[in-house]
Homo-oligomer: A and B are copies of this chain.
Amino acid sequence: MLQHRRRRKEHRPPPGEPPGSLSPAPYARPTHLHLLAYDADRLVEHESPDVAEIEARIRGVGNVWIDVAGLRDVDKIRAIGQHYGLHPLTLEDIVQVVQRPKVDIYEGYLFVVLRVPRLEKGLVTEQLAIVLGHDFVITFGERPSECFDAVRSRLTHVHSRMRSRPVDYLAYALIDALIDACFPILERYGELIDELEEEVVERATDGLVSQIHVLRRSVMELRRALWPLREVLNTLTREGTPYVQHETRVFLRDCSDHVSQLLDMIEIDREVTATLLDLHLSSLSARMNEIMKVLTIIATIFIPLGFFAGLYGMNFDPDVSPYNMPELHWRYGYFYSLAVMATIALGMLGYFWAKGWIGGRWRRGGRGARERD
């Protein structure tokens, strides 16, 4: 079951700050660098290098992937930025992890921001920034990303297609891995919806309302994270975009299809959760009707009976006149009173039966409905 997570307090510089000032979020993790330089023949891998070392290590190797995980050490990030000529706004966007997905074209590189959804107790989305240059890819994530491991291990295979292709193919592979990681979340949503649907129809307990609501919010937040991705991939697959080779476009188009699939699924989830609330309300009303029927049947049968019993419990003095409660002295007075009560009770029951409140389905009018059945 999902739990509502209060929104993370967003970390922003105060209004009026000059752009390009880097201040890490209070929840930022320590920065780890992972260097991977490769071409078809060679592969250099180095964990957590000094930024200064990078140049030395990758000399002569064609393609470089620097994976920066954790954004607390802004000095390291600034150093990388200076080395690769990143614009101050790019660095600011990297450190302020509240960007929505976008592509910005700068001189010397493409800057892509994505949001990586993760399902903990509720939905969390974290920022991942990709800088794609002519022969380097730098990724900046809030934490080490599990789905990059698969890409990394593919890259270490000598015969991997990725080794012999330019870096934009690596960027594609990373984006693709991130998008694919969204499908399990939507499957989990689908299961939750199916469970809630059953619950609503079967039980309509009180807590369901807030569960539906939390689920609905999670769906909306996932949508928020993925919706701009369409535009991002459109830009990347468009003909004129620099740093993306023609051959890679067909692969990015495939990513784009996946995003459309995801958004289709989200759209359905949104509509279904919206109707779940109506369903719940409807279920509650139906329950209420059931309760009311029981109350009405019991009360309308026994209240008149109670009155009759009370009637003959009155103490009018039969001795004063023969008109005072003569029934009390009838030979079969008691039976007569019981018969009257039985008649009332049976009449009521008959009325309820005719209305369909007891012993069968609810019918509109007695006769017509019975003929139809």
Given known A-B contacts A275-B277, A316-B312, A316-B334, A257 and B206 have beta carbons under 8 A apart: no
The answer to whether B278 touches A277 (Cβ under 8 A) is: yes
Interface residues in A200-240 by Cβ distance below 8 A to B read: 201-206, 209-210, 213, 216-217, 220-221, 224, 228
CB distance from A183 to the nearest CB of B (A): 6
CB distance from A333 to the nearest CB of B (A): 5
- Nearest residue in B to A273 (C-beta to C-beta)? B275
How many identical subunits does the complex contain?
Answer: 5
A14 / chain B contacts, CB cutoff of 8 Å = 150, 180
Mask of A294-330 contacts with B, CB within 8 angstroms, 1/0: 1110111011111101111111111011011101111
Bound complex: CA of A181 vs CA of B148, how far in Å?
37
Bound complex: CA of A260 vs CA of B162, how far in Å?
35
Mask of A253-278 contacts with B, CB within 8 angstroms, 1/0: 11001001100100110011011011
Bound complex: CA of A104 vs CA of B178, how far in Å?
23
Bound complex: CA of A360 vs CA of B186, how far in Å?
33
Given known A-B contacts A285-B285, A292-B292, A7 and B362 have beta carbons under 8 A apart: no
Bound complex: CA of A83 vs CA of B12, how far in Å?
40
Count of residues in A whose CB is under 8 Å from the partner chain = 131
- Nearest residue in B to A282 (C-beta to C-beta)? B209
Most buried by B among A102, A160, A178: A102
The answer to whether B292 touches A291 (Cβ under 8 A) is: yes
Most buried by B among A183, A292, A311: A311
Q: State whether the Cβ of A281 lies closer than 8 Å to any Cβ in chain B.
A: yes
The answer to whether A197 touches B220 (Cβ under 8 A) is: no
Bound complex: CA of A86 vs CA of B334, how far in Å?
94
The answer to whether A100 touches B260 (Cβ under 8 A) is: yes
CB distance from A181 to the nearest CB of B (A): 5
Most buried by B among A150, A154, A312: A312
Task: Determine which of B18, B318, B335 lies in contact with A161 in the assembled complex, contact meaning CB atoms within 8 Å.
Answer: B18
Given known A-B contacts A289-B287, A334-B325, A281 and B280 have beta carbons under 8 A apart: no
Given known A-B contacts A286-B206, A310-B313, A147 and B15 have beta carbons under 8 A apart: yes
CB distance from A235 to the nearest CB of B (A): 13
The answer to whether B150 touches A15 (Cβ under 8 A) is: yes
